[in-house]
Structure 1
């Protein structure tokens, strides 16, 4: 747990929970989401994990490693059929392949079928005895794992903050939260549609989702966010990921400045990992002549 009061310079109590340190390659919320799904696959005596993701997906990378450690083969259905011809130089996919994952590259249009029953049935037919994991790993077992992020030691905090992608981590935190706590989800995408996902897994309503600091949408960043990440690393020694946690912490600090948190609030922020994507992001930044993320 890292205290951030000196960095923020306020009377607020702010702490960062280092879920990124759970495992070097299956870190943060990916560790939590995969924990019980891997156990279920092994219990069912499945031999293959099949899941979905983009070219720089933290989930794809983590599933490849987790599957290898569990003795399971892994298949990644990857958005973008153009990558089939040449994905060399993509650090995420090369890493996943080095850990035994094979790929099914599909068009962006076909990728939209990732929840279609007929399409999933065709995958199951192609890969017998496979365990299907949804995009981002979010399902009931994933929520169970994410709920374990919060412990009794965290009960004193008034606010629990997390970055939001598919909404699974947020749902787990809401499910585990105390009655006096508010869970704040900082969306990494435009929109707050993830509320429908949270509603699937809990009846609690002590949460809010905001997209004020999504920086234009998923995986979009600018020089301001890069400077923030580099300054945060210099001040604390903690590396943030550009897609999720950096946006959340930027948002928390801005919301404190704007008075959106009551004075003397105790705020817990969750570092959900995802650092593997920095290499790919730096390549994108270089092409745009933007500053690099310091590692």
Structure 2
């Protein structure tokens, strides 16, 4: 996960930075003027961050409103010196996703950013159900049809990244950022491939051969259920298909019963069921 921290007080910035590092959030320390210039000159795409953390700057509502007016989709978290309902309300109305009171705790900062990112991806809970597989984003092992699927720490982390981006292509670079963060690891070019292979094997064994992770050559990986494991009951058109099937069945029944017209329904039913 990558973030930009805006905090003019160097002592406070270092303290916040330590908390971000503990929670494996890589961050750049910038001043608002630099970030604003980049935004105005290059647009929102130039701010390739998962979160923008705004600390003690004057009138933070204006920067927040500008970020949203320029369609910046990163989570915007504001840090305030003391609890104040009016300040919190104004920041949220300006477009902030969350407001925290200093000092901040590493786990809480990351959890709040992750919650915001889930909402922006359309996820309403920590559980992502894909075919027969349910992936939990809160640290629990996934399960297949209710049976626990045991994974290593790295396998679990990589599957979580893929599940949070269900049906989207995820690059290796993004997985590196999410999984390794600031842990000190320097993964080799093929290490993600190795873990993907292990995940595929375990999922296939648990699902009877289902292939849930596809390689999109030159771009990364995509996580989705194979066609034979898709639950179509809630998909658009499923009702129409069922209705059509019922009409076909009804027509077939009428054709079967037609030769017995006038001979009595009981006699026809007896012949049809073989009684």
> TM-score, normalized by length of structure 2?
0.29
Q: Which has the higher contact order (CA 8 A, sep 6+)?
A: 1
> TM-score, normalized by length of structure 1?
0.27
Who wins on radius of gyration, i.e. which is larger? 2
